[in-house]
């Protein structure tokens, strides 16, 4: 009796990704071998890691290995491993579906972008390496048996949207993927993937560092064609970080990165580290060129691979780098840790925490070098991972001080270039004592804010903090280089020399008396939203603006908190309404008020001025109906 064959549809997103892999990524079809070997190597890692806690999984004389077998006549290529294997449910889960959250949105994005390169950049993030087999094969079968399972599973597909599953009689643990190869067509990147020479070259190029032997039985490359086939190991198996960095070619580092990071793109940068002291360990770290789409997902697991004396013991060790460096990929190889280290032990291990602080210090030093010597690369890194780095500012003092000089900001100094705080300080005017900033939703909104006027008049630079995390940065960071970080949207503004400030204060106290009653009127009319109305020293051309008191949270943060945590996340904060005493509106309003305090139009003016101030800073109107009514009344009167 033969087992029944069941046919299934690929999940919609999986099918779309599969189509993208087949139809738009035609540039390098031979990477399918890299992906299959990478999967085999991962499966071997997993069975070995499982054996650390469950010795029954492996027999002592088990050799973990990868095999390539070809049949030139049948035009097939098989890649086999005796790794962890998959249960039937796992096959459907891992091969037929993409379980990552956020996939649908990204698939849409991919389909919209016509460029194959852009697709290649993004697609690696999904774990769709397996689908690359359909670039070179018309039909693929996968036979697999999970370690410890009784039954094996046979999966096959032609990559057209369906796959068939049945039981299989495979006897041993592991997986074999067999490709029924498309006809050779070298012009379109289809080499003869059943030819030993071709496979030998590809393994050398893409998978030389793989830690398990990749075996093939074929005539030796230097033997004549009639020579008897013999078993050869195609890769050197030498861990790339154990070789002197100078001897390793860039392409080799790149291929290693692709393997550990499951990425298809090249890394942006890398660093090799070696600690020699009480603890001995090495690290090979990479900075990806692109942030993964799930970088901010809370349940996402990040972490470096942890090796002990060249043996992988944990795939994503979260304790080797702090969360604000979670975008870094790579490996750490320790000479001192025991092989049987559990996750629980790792969380408490003193070695690990010492490694973390050393590694993060080294990474930050490296980022500093990049910032100073290769601003282009640093700018790219910042664009992808700047927001993550800023999360570290919330950490302990030492980290904060190391991170601060690494931050880049937009500023009024330049329309496109970003600035560091050090560079800002160098540009400060001789009479300027503080570092000024304004937070907001976007540069476009912030840069037209009335709060900037007095600073522009003085020629003072203002940092535009338009990343949501910047609110956290300003909460945590009160000063830099002995200069206080000051919001231009909070408190009172006193600019210029001591004499200038004295003069301004004298002028103001005179005006205060004149405007006292109208200010009182504005405050009481707008009392639901405004806690004080006062004369402004920060406006030169605008009639009004709203500011916060020293300890208030910014309106930007208020908006953010409402959006992310719901409308009741923060109680509505009252603001301070500032009137520009040199503006004609202030003057006329005062005259009108003096003439008749009960003039009903005054209430409309108050609401319009308040709405004006809100719109100017990019805030929403709390009561748009009231604003519109006031505008309507005043228009009728004016026309
Ligand atoms: P990724 O390797 O990035 O997860 P792939 O498309 O290459 O994405 O593989 C999908 C999944 O299929 C893997 O995560 C793994 O769970 C499973 N898989 C693929 N090949 C093998 C194999 N040879 N042995 C065991 N599991 C495998
Ligand atoms: Mg893979």
Q: pLDDT (tens digit, 9 = 90+) per residue, 547-587? A: 998 888 888 888 888 888 888 888 888 999 999 999 999 99
Strand, helix or coil for residue 228 = coil
The DSSP bridge partners found for residue 81 are 66, 175
Spacing, Cα 40 to ligand 1 middle (Å)? 8
pLDDT of 131 reads 92
Strand, helix or coil for residue 111 = helix
Cβ–ligand 1 distance for 128 under 6 Å, the answer yes
The sheet with strand 479-480 has its strands ordered as: 414-419, 409-411, 462-465, 435-439, 483-487, 479-480
Cβ–ligand 1 distance for 130 under 6 Å, the answer yes
pTM: 0.86
Q: Are 581 and 510 in contact (CB under 8 A)?
A: no
Cβ-proximal residues to 540 (8 Å cutoff; 6+ apart), any chain:
453, 454, 456, 457, 580, 582
Spacing, Cα 171 to ligand 2 middle (Å)? 24
Share of residues in the chain with pLDDT > 90 (%):
64
pLDDT of 116 reads 63
Number of the ligand 1 atom closest to the C-alpha atom of 35: 7
| CA quadruple 112, 114, 116, 120: dihedral, nearest 10 | -20
pLDDT of 471 reads 86
Spacing, Cα 46 to ligand 2 middle (Å)? 13
In 63-213 the beta strands, taken as DSSP E runs, fall at: 66-71, 76-81, 137-145, 152-157, 162-168, 174-181
Low-confidence ranges of the chain (pLDDT < 70): 1, 26, 114-121, 396-397
What is the chain's Cα-based Rg?
Answer: 33
Q: Are 390 and 476 in contact (CB under 8 A)?
A: no
> What is the rounded CA–CA span in Å between residue 446 and residue 444?
6
pLDDT of 550 reads 84
Q: Are 535 and 579 in contact (CB under 8 A)?
A: yes
Q: Return residues with CB closer than 5 A to ligand 2 (ion).
A: 38-39, 129
pLDDT of 530 reads 95
Which of 42, 49, 82, 163 for a ligand 1 pocket mutation test, highest count of atoms within 8 Å of Cβ? 42
pLDDT of 117 reads 65
pLDDT of 120 reads 66
Structure tokens that stand for 208 in this block:
């030389």
Whether the CA torsion 256, 260, 266, 272 is positive or negative: it is: negative
Number of the ligand 1 atom closest to the C-alpha atom of 126: 3
Q: What angle do CA 275, 278, 279 make, to 5 degrees?
A: 50
> What is the rounded CA–CA span in Å between residue 526 and residue 627?
12
β 152-157/66-71 pair status: unpaired
Structure tokens that stand for 363 in this block:
């990474």
Q: Are 139 and 180 in contact (CB under 8 A)?
A: yes
pLDDT of 1 reads 59
Spacing, Cα 94 to ligand 1 middle (Å)? 6
The sheet with strand 530-535 has its strands ordered as: 530-535, 575-579, 544-547
Which of 94, 140, 207, 292 for a ligand 1 pocket mutation test, highest count of atoms within 8 Å of Cβ? 94
Q: How many helices (H) and strands (E) does the chain have?
A: 20, 23
Structure tokens that stand for 515 in this block:
């405007």
Q: Are 413 and 391 in contact (CB under 8 A)?
A: no
How many residues does this entry show for the chain? 639
Which of 22, 31, 39 for a ligand 1 pocket mutation test, highest count of atoms within 8 Å of Cβ? 39
pLDDT of 55 reads 86
β 530-535/575-579 pair status: parallel
């Amino acid at each position: 009796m033969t087992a029944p064959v069941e046919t299934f549809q690929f999940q919609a997103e999986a099918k779309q990704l599969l189509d993208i892999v087949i139809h738009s990524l035609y540039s390098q079809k031979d990477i399918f071998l890299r992906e299959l070997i990478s999967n085999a190597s991962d499966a071997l890692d997993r069975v070995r890691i499982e054996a650390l806690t469950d010795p029954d999984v492996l027999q002592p004389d088990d050799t973990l290995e990868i095999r390539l077998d070809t049949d030139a006549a049948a035009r097939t290529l098989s890649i086999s491993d005796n790794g962890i294997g998959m249960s039937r449910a796992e096959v459907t889960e891992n091969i037929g579906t993409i379980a990552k959250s956020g996939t649908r949105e990204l698939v849409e994005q991919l389909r919209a972008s016509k460029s194959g390169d852009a697709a290649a950049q993004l697609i690696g993030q999904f774990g769709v390496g397996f689908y690359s087999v359909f670039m070179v094969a018309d039909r693929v079968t996968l036979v697999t048996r999970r370690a410890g399972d009784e039954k094996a599973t046979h999966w096959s597909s032609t990559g057209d949207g369906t796959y068939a599953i049945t039981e299989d009689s495979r006897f041993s643990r592991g997986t074999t993927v067999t490709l029924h190869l498309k006809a050779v067509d070298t012009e379109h990147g289809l080499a003869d993937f059943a030819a030993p020479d071709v496979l030998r070259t590809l393994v050398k190029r893409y998978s030389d560092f793989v830690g398990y032997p990749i075996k093939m039985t074929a005539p030796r490359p230097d033997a004549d064609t009639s020579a008897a086939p013999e078993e050869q190991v195609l890769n050197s198996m030498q861990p790339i970080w154990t070789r002197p960095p100078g001897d390793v070619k860039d392409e080799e580092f790149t291929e290693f990165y692709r393997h550990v990071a499951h990425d298809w793109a090249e890394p942006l940068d890398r660093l090799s580290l070696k600690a020699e002291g009480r603890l001995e360990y090495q690290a090979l770290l990479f900075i990806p060129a692109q942030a993964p789409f799930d970088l901010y997902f809370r349940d996402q697991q990040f972490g470096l691979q942890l090796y002990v004396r060249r043996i992988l013991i944990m795939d994503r060790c979260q304790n080797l780098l702090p969360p604000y460096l979670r975008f870094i990929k790579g490996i750490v190889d320790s000479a001192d840790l025991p092989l049987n280290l559990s996750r629980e032990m790792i969380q408490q291990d003193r070695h690990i925490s010492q490694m973390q602080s050393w590694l993060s210090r080294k990474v930050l030093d490296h980022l500093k070098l990049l910032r100073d010597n290769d601003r282009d690369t640093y700018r790219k890194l910042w664009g992808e991972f700047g927001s993550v780095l800023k999360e570290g500012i919330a950490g302990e003092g030492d980290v904060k001080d190391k991170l601060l000089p690494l931050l880049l900001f937009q500023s009024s100094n330049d329309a496109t270039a970003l600035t560091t705080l050090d560079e800002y300080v160098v540009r400060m005017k001789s009479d300027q004592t503080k570092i000024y900033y304004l937070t907001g939703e976007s540069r476009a909104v912030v840069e037209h804010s009335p709060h900037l006027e007095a600073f522009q008049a003085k020629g003072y630079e203002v940092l535009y903090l338009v990343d949501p995390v910047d609110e956290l940065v300003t909460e945590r960071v009160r000063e830099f280089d002995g200069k206080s970080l000051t919001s231009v949207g909070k408190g009172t503004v006193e600019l210029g020399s001591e004499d200038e400030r004295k003069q301004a204060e004298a002028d103001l106290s005179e005006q205060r008396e004149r405007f006292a009653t109208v200010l009182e009127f504005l405050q009481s009319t707008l009392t639901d939203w405004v806690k004080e109305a006062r004369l402004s020293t920060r406006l030169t051309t605008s009639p009004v603006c709203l500011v916060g008191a020293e300890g208030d949270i910014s309106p930007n943060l208020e908006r953010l908190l409402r959006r992310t945590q719901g409308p009741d996340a923060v109680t509505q904060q009252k603001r301070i309404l500032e009137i520009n005493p040199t503006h004609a509106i202030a003057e006329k309003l005062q005259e009108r008020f003096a003439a008749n305090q009960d003039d009903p139009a005054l209430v409309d003016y108050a609401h319009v001025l308040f709405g004006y101030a809100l719109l100017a800073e990019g805030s929403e109107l709390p009561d748009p109906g009231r604003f519109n009514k006031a505008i309507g009344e005043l228009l009728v009167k004016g026309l």
